Amino acid sequence: MRILFVGMADSVHLARWVNQLDGAGWERFLFPIYSVKPHADLKDLTVINGAEFPGFQNNRSVRYMNGSLPYFTVTLLRRIIQKRLKPLQPVIKPFPLLVRALVSTIKRVKPDIIHSMEFQESGYLTLAAKENFKGDFPKWIATNWGSDIYLFGRLAKHRERVRAVLENCDYYSCECERDVILAREYGLRGEVLPVFPNTGGFDLVACELLRQPGSASERKLILLKGYQGWAGRAFSGLRALARCADILKARGYSIAVYSSGPDVDLAVELFALETGVPVEIIPPSPHTEMLKKYGQARVYIGLSISDAISTSLLESMVMGTFPIQSCTACADEWIIDGQSGLVVPPEDVDLIEKALRRALTDDVLVDQAAALNRETARKRLSSTVIQPKVIDFYQHVYNSKLENRL
């Protein structure tokens, strides 16, 4: 089997997904849509135009294939794309040269399956390639990430392109039952593949070793996801934390903020000065280091106006951290509000504060939630559970292709 992935080569989510196919004996190719270089965790696949990524050749399991466009053309093209990208303004109509490059790659690689991972860049590009392809197009799996249809499907500039992707793909995959319903409403004609996390499973044995000894209620760290922008609402979490400064100081809590930008970093510095609560800004870190932080944290706060399953929510569940998650992220498909976590509106600081005060003071709730979420992780998030499903995921598509030939 030959699989051509179209996606963000620098994404850890893509790397974790692709690496689940290790040992399957299939040929894997990656067409990067704009990334500067492949993620360091990627292994055992062929990167198209990979020669443009100097310094990555230390990973000997990653091979490189020159594409149809000259090296300097692809490099310049991707720089132009990156400059054009703005929040809520991904490339609606991909650059013709990039479309031609993907079409050429498909003809050269002759994949059995093409898998676009994310809609607004990868999906639109694959759709354009299909529209310009002469002959039989490979079986196409379109995977929905984050806000791809939940938010973008409602926006005037994207509505028709989202609908076109759903009408033209052969298979649709996502990580929320909510999005399956939406995809059908938006015109999905293809088959829905099994619903499970886009980032794959967790090595629960290794995760257990990263946990701080003792109960979750004994932990003194609070984690805040620092996304603030078109979707993230870290400022709402920061304001709620400021209102809870009395509890935070009385009980000796500290705060760690991750995935933040300059605006949030500035607000965090002012927060620390005004409240006297210790705050750490976590720099970009390896996944293992972030899991260690979760294993030290009592509470995780993740707020956004749109998401699918927040990977941070799943990480908090695996590591015994009590989750406070916005109601826009399919959290209700994973936790029971008031038992294994708390679900809040992303911009209602009053309700976020109320939830936070409860999570900071109710030791029984926090410990019971850790036990409930550990069981959920064992049943639904273990790599030993998800990896076989991923293998079956592709085998089903491949078998269907063979049956159609007959």
Residue-level pLDDT at 82: 57
For 308, residues 6+ apart whose C-beta sits below 8 A from its C-beta are: 144, 145, 146, 147, 148, 150, 174, 175, 176, 179, 198, 329, 330
Going from N- to C-terminal start, the domains of the chain cover 2-200+383-405, 204-380
Confidence of residue 192 (pLDDT cuts 50, 70, 90): very high
Residue-level pLDDT at 1: 95
Question: How far is it, in rounded angstroms, from Cα 129 to Cα 123?
Answer: 10
- Widest CA span in the chain: 71
Ramachandran region, residue 43 (left: φ > 0; alpha: ψ -120 to 50; beta: rest): beta
Q: Tell me the two tokens of residue 180.
A: 């399956």
CATH classification for the domain delimited by 2-200+383-405, as one of 1.10.1040.10, 3.90.420.10, 3.40.50.2300, 3.40.50.2000: 3.40.50.2000
> Minimal CA–CA distance to 222: which of 297, 119, 304?
297
For range 344-357, the mean pLDDT: 98
For range 365-394, the mean pLDDT: 96
User: Are 2-200+383-405 and 204-380 in the same CATH fold?
Assistant: yes
208 has pLDDT over 50 = yes
Question: How far is it, in rounded angstroms, from Cα 3 to Cα 28?
Answer: 5
Query: In CATH, what class is 204-380?
Result: alpha beta
User: For 245-276, how does the pLDDT look when each residue is reduced to its tens digit (9 = 90+)?
Assistant: 999 999 999 999 999 999 999 999 999 999 99
Q: Which amino acid makes up residue 393?
A: F
For range 156-170, the mean pLDDT: 94
User: What is the pTM (predicted TM-score) of this model?
Assistant: 0.90
